[in-house]
């Protein structure tokens, strides 16, 4: 059976049993508390919670889907027999309709009748029970009709209660289904809403959320020893025969798939959040490929072709994004490699230096450094990030004496009070400029303009940002006008300290770092910007409920160490003096204030 046939059979099996086929949702969920779509249930969350009506939207209470999914939690396992970052999940769902008995019956029937897997290879686990959720006797009994007692195990909360992705959502007791020793499906019986503090409250209706890992079930059905030998991977693996070892070939294949699907859903490489995940995967793929071939586009192209009958791709757009990032990376890679070779051993401090100066991600340092980087752990590397963060915060404190600078935040430098005043005006102008660029420019790959660097003196500001082409004179004028309008309106600039999570939820722009300090400063620039005096009644639409002091969409909101002026009117007139390229995909604007 090909993977195409398995897909069809799954959809048909459940369609015949009254399920409506629903297309995969994007890898980027609408829910801002989660980075990626990690399971088929995500797009159906409101139906489980009773917040949306499945009958109205799907004509019934049963749906079936094949969902694009992405899990970065398994990234260190990629290369073994069965772990991936990007994968597809076959799922079927009931919103207040059938429950355990039918679910278990169909699972068994699909495995044995449709996929022809011998029942002797099957086993299942059910929840043993604890003080919050009782033993799942109903599932146990349902499985007993098909499997002998020694093939039904009672398992703990970690394995047999499934919680929602993100801080809260529907959850319940779960069964795991195994073929030989491999887990192929999870059957979740949604009965509770689980809140942030892990409190459970019963849902208005019970639900079923079943997810099968497509790659794994294809592997088992096709009788292969690992997922990379299935027809989902074979065409890609053929291109990678020359890779230095089996493990690296698998990593390249996994990353190429993830890269294609992430870009197709609108992610562009950057230094934060989703963009940063993409950058890491892409750079690692490029570096592994470049050790033996110049053609790093071949696997990308193959993934697009392989999945073209199931998903729609803009192949050229994907290739453009990959090439742009590859160009950018190549510029620092040679030097980074040299530096890496020069080092005798690589600890976390050195690894962080390689990351900062040459853009080498943690995984790449581990791969390239091999023996030298043996002692380097992800935890130590993350710790180094944190230290660095603290250092740059400390650097933002006023420095007297020392090297004669009154202030040096890394971004802003001033030698005396007079210079500091001017640089502060330019700093606030930089925030306005960043916000205006985002409002005016629309990058073709669907991502957004990202800050790539900023350097401020008393004379001028210099702002680098990601954008694939030269700005037109009209665009420059539009940005300049928008910024000066914000100055004329004399918006209030407010600072608020909050948790990093709240800051991101409130829409603050931030550079992605692995670890942020618990409390961060957010600078908001009008209109109706943050007002500490204002106490609104409950959440305001479009805003994070915990930041109800925000009374309207601001012009700009950024995580920042300061300093800033208190009203935009203090800035003066802003003139953009130059717009130029820094490197492929990165532009630089210089501006002055009068």
Which of 66, 122, 124, 188 binds ligand SER (CB under 6 A)? It is 188
In the chain, what is the greatest distance between 2 CA atoms, to the nearest angstrom?
A: 83
Which of 96, 169, 172, 211 binds ligand SER (CB under 6 A)? It is 211
Here the tokens at position 563 are: 């300093």
String marking each residue 115-154 x if it binds ligand SER according to CB under 6 A: ----------------------------------------
In whole angstroms, how close is the CB of 210 to ligand SER at the nearest point? 6
Distance CA(285)–CA(289), nearest Å, equals 6
For residue 238, give the H/E element and its range.
Answer: helix 234-239
In whole angstroms, how close is the CB of 160 to ligand SER at the nearest point? 12
Which of 27, 39, 326, 471 binds ligand SER (CB under 6 A)? It is 39
Which of 88, 191, 209, 325 binds ligand SER (CB under 6 A)? It is 209
Q: Which stretch binds ligand SER (CB under 6 A): 33-41, 229-237, 344-352, 371-379?
A: 33-41
Among residues 163 and 569, whose Cβ is nearest to ligand SER? 163
Among residues 71 and 460, whose Cβ is nearest to ligand SER? 71
Among residues 69 and 288, whose Cβ is nearest to ligand SER? 69
Interface positions, 68-97, toward ligand SER (CB under 6 A):
91
In whole angstroms, how close is the CB of 141 to ligand SER at the nearest point? 21
What residue spans of 396-527 are helical by DSSP H?
417-440, 473-488, 500-505
Which of 13, 95, 162, 516 binds ligand SER (CB under 6 A)? It is 162
Q: Which stretch binds ligand SER (CB under 6 A): 135-143, 206-214, 361-369, 514-522?
A: 206-214
Q: Which stretch binds ligand SER (CB under 6 A): 204-212, 257-265, 330-338, 469-477?
A: 204-212
Distance CA(104)–CA(6), nearest Å, equals 19
| Rg (the chain; Cα; Å) | 27
In whole angstroms, how close is the CB of 138 to ligand SER at the nearest point? 18
Interface with ligand SER includes 424 (CB under 6 A)? no
Q: Are 214 and 189 in contact (CB under 8 A)?
A: no
In whole angstroms, how close is the CB of 482 to ligand SER at the nearest point? 44
* Strand partners of residue 65: 91
In whole angstroms, how close is the CB of 96 to ligand SER at the nearest point? 17
Interface with ligand SER includes 155 (CB under 6 A)? no
DSSP 416-450: SHHHHHHHHHHHHHHHHHHHHHHHH---TTS----
- Residues 6 or more apart whose Cβ sits within 8 Å of residue 536: 548, 549, 551
Here the tokens at position 128 are: 């043993």
Q: Is 342 exposed, middle or buried (0-12, 13-18, 19+ CB in 10 A)?
A: exposed
State how far Cα 169 lies from the chain centre. Answer: 19
How far apart, in Å, are the Cα atoms of 56 and each of 47, 67, 213, 293? 11, 22, 29, 53
- Residues 6 or more apart whose Cβ sits within 8 Å of residue 83: 74, 77
Interface with ligand SER includes 41 (CB under 6 A)? yes
Among residues 210 and 498, whose Cβ is nearest to ligand SER? 210
Q: Are 100 and 189 in contact (CB under 8 A)?
A: yes
Among residues 41 and 456, whose Cβ is nearest to ligand SER? 41
Interface with ligand SER includes 40 (CB under 6 A)? yes
Among residues 174 and 373, whose Cβ is nearest to ligand SER? 174
Nearest to 447 by CA among 276, 258, 252: 276
CA angle 279, 285, 289 (to 5 degrees): 145
Count of residues that bind ligand SER according to CB under 6 A: 10
- Cis omega (within 30 of 0) for bond into 418: no
Among residues 190 and 520, whose Cβ is nearest to ligand SER? 190
Q: Which stretch binds ligand SER (CB under 6 A): 10-18, 34-42, 98-106, 440-448?
A: 34-42
Among residues 24 and 451, whose Cβ is nearest to ligand SER? 24
In whole angstroms, how close is the CB of 266 to ligand SER at the nearest point? 23
Q: Are 506 and 481 in contact (CB under 8 A)?
A: no
Per CB under 6 A, residues contacting ligand SER are: 39-41, 91, 162, 186, 188, 209-211
């Amino acid at each position: 059976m090909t993977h195409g046939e398995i897909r069809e059979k799954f959809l048909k099996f459940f369609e015949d049993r009254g399920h409506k086929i629903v297309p995969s949702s994007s890898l980027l969920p609408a829910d801002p508390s989660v980075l990626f779509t990690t399971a088929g249930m995500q797009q159906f969350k409101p139906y489980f919670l009773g917040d949306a009506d499945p009958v109205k939207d799907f004509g019934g209470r049963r749906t079936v889907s094949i969902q694009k999914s992405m899990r970065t939690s398994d990234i260190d396992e990629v290369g073994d027999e069965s772990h991936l970052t990007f994968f597809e999940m076959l799922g079927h769902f009931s919103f207040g309709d059938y429950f355990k008995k039918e679910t278990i019956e169909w699972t068994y029937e699909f495995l044995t009748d449709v996929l022809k897997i011998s029942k002797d290879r099957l086993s299942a686990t059910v929840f043993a029970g604890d003080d919050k959720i009782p033993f799942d006797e109903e599932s146990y009994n349902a499985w007993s009709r098909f499997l002998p007692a020694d093939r039904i195990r009672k398992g703990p909360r970690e394995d047999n209660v499934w919680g929602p992705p993100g801080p809260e959502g529907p959850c319940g007791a779960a069964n795991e289904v195994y073929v030989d020793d491999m887990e192929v499906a999870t059957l979740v019986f949604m009965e509770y809403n689980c809140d942030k503090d892990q409190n459970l409250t019963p849902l208005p209706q019970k639900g079923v959320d079943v997810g099968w890992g497509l790659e794994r079930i294809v592997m088992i059905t096709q009788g292969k020893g690992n997922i990379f030998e299935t027809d989902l991977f074979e065409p890609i693996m053929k291109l990678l025969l020359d890779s230095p070892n089996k493990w690296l070939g698998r990593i390249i294949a996994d990353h190429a798939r993830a890269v294609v699907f992430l870009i197709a859903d609108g992610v562009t490489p950057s230094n934060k959040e989703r963009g940063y995940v993409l950058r890491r995967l892409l750079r690692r793929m490029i570096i592994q490929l470049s050790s033996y071939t110049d053609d790093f586009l071949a696997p990308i192209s193959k993934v697009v072709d392989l999945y073209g009958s199931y998903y729609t791709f803009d192949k050229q757009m994907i290739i453009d994004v990959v090439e742009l990032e590859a160009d950018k990376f190549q510029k620092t890679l040679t030097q980074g490699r040299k530096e890496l070779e020069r080092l005798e051993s690589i600890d976390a401090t050195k690894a962080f230096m390689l990351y900062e100066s040459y853009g080498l991600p943690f995984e790449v340092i581990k791969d390239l450094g091999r023996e030298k980087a043996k002692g380097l752990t992800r935890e130590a590397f993350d710790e180094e990030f944190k230290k660095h963060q603290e250092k740059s915060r400390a650097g933002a404190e006023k420095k007297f004496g020392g090297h004669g600078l009154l202030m040096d935040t890394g971004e802003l430098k001033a030698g005396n009070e007079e210079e500091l005043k001017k640089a502060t005006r330019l700093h606030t102008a930089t925030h306005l400029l960043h916000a205006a660029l985002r409002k005016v420019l629309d990058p073709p790959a669907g991502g957004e303009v990202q800050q790539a660097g900023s350097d401020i003196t008393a004379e001028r500001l210099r702002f680098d940002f990601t954008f694939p082409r030269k700005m037109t004179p009209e665009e420059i004028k539009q940005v300049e006008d928008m910024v000066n309008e914000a100055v004329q309106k004399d918006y209030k600039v407010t600072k608020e300290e909050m948790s990093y999570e709240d800051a991101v939820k409130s829409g603050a722009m931030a550079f992605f770092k692995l670890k942020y300090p618990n409390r961060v400063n957010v600078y908001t620039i009008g209109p109706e910007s943050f007002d500490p005096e204002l106490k609104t009644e409950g959440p305001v639409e479009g805003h994070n409920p915990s930041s109800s002091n925000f009374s309207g969409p601001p012009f700009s909101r950024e995580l920042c160490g300061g300093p800033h002026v208190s009203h935009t009117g203090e800035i003066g007139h802003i003139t953009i003096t130059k717009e130029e390229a820094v490197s492929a995909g990165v532009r630089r604007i210089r501006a002055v204030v009068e």
